[in-house]
Amino acid sequence: MMDIMTSETTTFPASTAAADAMVAEARFNADGLLACIAQQHDTGEVLMMAWMNEDALRETLRTGRVCYWSRSRGKLWRKGESSGQEQHLKDLRLDCDGDTVLALVDQTGVACHTGRRSCFYKAPRGEVLANITEPEIAPEDLYGR
C-alpha cells in the first residue's frame, strides 16, 4: 500500500515535456476544467477541491505554486494572492481517467476562506449536520488587509 507520508514526490518546475504529456493525457470537461484536490503532503489532510483550466495546470507545473481557475471570478486564481495562504507544490498526480488531479502541497496557514484549515468541516453528528472544526483565523484577518 502506498503511504502518502513516505511516497516519493518530485521537484518543480516540471519539465516542459512532462507538462505537455500531462496536458495531453488530461481530459478537461465541457467547461475546459479539471477537478483538483489539494492535500497537505505530510499530514494527509484533504484541504480543498477546486478547478484548473489548461493555463492554471501549466502555471502550477511551471511555478510550483498552485494556481486554480476561479469559476466565480472567471480568471486565474493564484492560491494565496489575496489571503497570503499559499500552496507550494510537492507533487501533482493525474488520475486514471484524466479528469482529476491530486496536488500534494505544503499549505501556508489555512486553506478555507472561513479561516479553517480544511474546507471539509460539516459532518453528520447525531440529529444535526455539525461543524466539526473551528476557524483558526478570522476571515476578516485573511481578506481584510
Is 67 known as a binding-site position? Answer: no
Is 36 known as a binding-site position? Answer: no
Total binding residues for a copy of itself by CB under 8 A? 55
Cβ atoms of residues 80 and 86 within 8 Å: yes
7 binding a copy of itself? (CB under 8 A):
yes
**CA quadruple 120, 123, 129, 132: dihedral sign:** negative
Q: Which three cell numbers stand for residue 34?
A: 479539471
Q: Residue 56 in 3-state DSSP?
A: helix
Q: Residue 101 in 3-state DSSP?
A: strand
100 binding a copy of itself? (CB under 8 A):
yes
| Interface with a copy of itself (CB under 8 A) | 1-5, 7-8, 10, 14-15, 17-19, 21-22, 25, 35, 37, 39, 43-46, 48-49, 61, 91-97, 100-102, 112-114, 116-129, 132-133
